Structure 1
Amino acid sequence: MRGIFRGAAFGLIAALSLSACGSGDSDDNPLSGSSGDSDGKALVVGSANFPENQLLAEIYAQALEAKDLKVTRKFDIGAREVYYDQIVKGGISVFPEYNGALLAVAVDEKSTATSTEDINAELKAKLPSSVEILDSAAAEDKDSVTVTPETAEKYNLKTLADLKPVAGDMTIGAGSEFKTRTQGGVGLKTVYGVEFGKFQPLDAGAQSTLIDLLKSDKVQAANIYTTDPAIIEDKLVVLEDPKNLFSSQNVTPLVYKSAVNDTAQAALNGVSAKLTTEDLLEMMKRLVNDKEDASTVAKDWLTEAGLAG
């Protein structure tokens, strides 16, 4: 769900300056047709209009450049409704996607797939012939039910199933839509038998308020996105979801087939092989809380992963 509503969720931080992410051949038109690397043209790496996706696009761009491939950066394009057709038509060569949201929003709104394997299988079968997904990373940015360390210890909470005997005494805070969604309150009850005593609704973009309520024990559980820097800062506990109530949202390269050769594919798959949710959490902390430059954060991670040029 994060991929579907992330524009609102990042409303509080979307104004961050990511000038390095927007660098590159900004005068070039990304919609002028397919851009390949085999004939000397630059690969067009695009991003959506929120900081995490721009960071991921910068990682992709630098990984490709480390293989001596020419790259044009076209970041901050907008929401999926804006950029998806550009990828399908070849105006963008490479894009960091979230597989669950890509399937549910752009490819098959009726899909019920939730696991990484099932989602990717459907994407491979249903995507337009001009594009394909490459390897998915372990890194995910998805919904979670998260508690404080004190609450986790008090009730011995590790997984969503552990909430069943105690949720009736707890209040969960979340966006107002969470209460009636299958990937939300409805699913918690049907899949795990979990029903909270009270529900505290908030606007979808009010993550910082939600975290404050959680830390002050005004809510005892919260629907937090798994790459929110507060998880590290405040040592919050993300409850495991063994039954995949919340669909997988693995970071996955979506590419225009004819633009991306074997070298480029290997570079992007190399990123996916190394990138974890913990990595993304730490990078988002540096980007959002510490106000570091996205280009520097990306370079540091690629160096540590052995993928820098």
Structure 2
Amino acid sequence: MGRRSFLAGVGGLAAVAALGGCASASSEDTVIVGSKGFAESWIMGELYAQALRATGRTVDLRTNVGSSEIIDKAMMSGQIDVFPEYTGVIVSSLAGYPEILPTAQETFDYAKNWEEERGVTVGTMTPFENKNAIAVTEQYAAQYNLTTIEDLRNVGEFVYSTYPDNVEGGSGYEAIVANYNLPNMQLKTLSIGLNYQALEAGEIQAADVFTTDPQLLRSNLVVLTDTLNMFGFQNVVPLVAPGAMDRLGDDGLDLLNTINDLLTLEAIQTLNAAVAVNRLDPAQVATQFLDVNDLL
């Protein structure tokens, strides 16, 4: 599905009620879908819940459940049946594996094996992944012939921005300087989202971004290749709680996998733009996407 056709479809929708968690009791045959507290997770939760409802299932969607650790505990205690999770988060934050695996497939395989040992069913991973990256303007990339992060060694002193919590750590400023040998990279900390304004204003030359940010749909930004894979891999998979396959069924999991297969990088950036930039309601945006793809 093209970005223009989708945005044309959602452009007339009005933003409505704010999202909130659903605390109502559910019957034994209800499928409980959970999501975290940010736009991309709201969208994924709505896609799963609405598509399952369209098959005649009773679905209880619970938004803003909490962090990965909290929603994982909710799943393992039977409070959540299905939720979308990032493969790299499963590997590092939940399973506690200390290293970044070499490929997206190996990250998925490790996550799947670890989850299945706990009785969790894992669906297919999305084509898109949401991870840290470094972006520069197209003009700056052309001026210095930049395509990879290590190319930044050749530009002289420059300013890079990230959010305050990402200075240290495995994907933070200090690690980038050390791993890519970039002593010429100076630091400016900014709140998430302000880095794009700073790039356009020329206040910084490189910015820490997330790969599914809707701002990256602009043609004047270039994401530099992370040749060392230090940012890891973060594709999304549907997780199904132990025992919940009885309610979801194989056909229900197949449906979630079909949704995931449709979520290319451009598709999720477009969905994120509709919610985070155009302020449309995630439920209506999800409905439009599912309708266009004949899943309602």
Using the size of structure 1 for normalisation, the TM-score is 0.81
Equivalent position amino acid for 2:243 in 1: S
Q: Is the 1:67–1:263 Cα contact (8 Å) retained in structure 2?
A: no
Aligned: 1:146 with 2:135: yes
SS at match of 1:258: coil
Equivalent position amino acid for 1:308 in 2: L
Q: Name the counterpart of 2:94.
A: 106
Aligned: 1:308 with 2:295: yes
- 2:37 alignment partner, one of 12, 31, 49: 49
C-alpha distance in 2, partners of 1:68/1:246? 40
C-alpha distance in 2, partners of 1:217/1:307? 44
Instruction: Give, in angstroms, the shift of residue 151 of structure 1.
Output: 1.1
- 1:107-157 deviation line (CA, Å, top 9, x unaligned): 215243253222222222322523132111012111010111221221122
Q: Name the counterpart of 1:29.
A: 25
Instruction: Give, in angstroms, the shift of residue 58 of structure 1.
Output: 0.2
Q: Is the 1:45–1:60 Cα contact (8 Å) retained in structure 2?
A: yes
Kindly tell me the number of residue pairs found equivalent between the two proteins: 278
Q: Is the 2:102–2:229 Cα contact (8 Å) retained in structure 1?
A: yes
Q: Name the counterpart of 2:6.
A: none
- Identify unmatched segments of 5+ residues in structure 2: 1-14
Aligned: 1:94 with 2:82: yes
C-alpha distance in 2, partners of 1:267/1:20? 27
Structure 2 counterparts to residues 126-165 of structure 1, below 5 A: 126-127=114-115, 128-165=117-154
Equivalent position amino acid for 2:206 in 1: A
- Judged with a 3 Å threshold, the aligned counterparts in structure 2 of structure 1 residues 268 and 171 are, in CA distance, closer, same or farther, namely same
- 1:220 alignment partner, one of 197, 205, 210: 205
SS at match of 2:188: strand
Structure 2 counterparts to residues 189-228 of structure 1, below 5 A: 189-202=177-190, 206-228=191-213
- Identify unmatched segments of 5+ residues in structure 1: 1-16, 36-40
C-alpha distance in 2, partners of 1:199/1:111? 25
Structure 2 counterparts to residues 262-281 of structure 1, below 5 A: 262-281=250-269
- 1:170-210 deviation line (CA, Å, top 9, x unaligned): 111112444433323344345444443311123xxx12322
SS at match of 2:33: strand
Structure 2 counterparts to residues 251-290 of structure 1, below 5 A: 251-260=236-245, 261-290=249-278
SS at match of 1:303: helix
Q: Name the counterpart of 2:70.
A: 82
- Judged with a 3 Å threshold, the aligned counterparts in structure 2 of structure 1 residues 199 and 221 are, in CA distance, closer, same or farther, namely same
Instruction: Give, in angstroms, the shift of residue 77 of structure 1.
Output: 1.3
Q: How high is the sequence identity, in percent, across the aligned residues?
A: 27
Q: Which moved more, 1:259-268 or 1:112-121?
A: 112-121
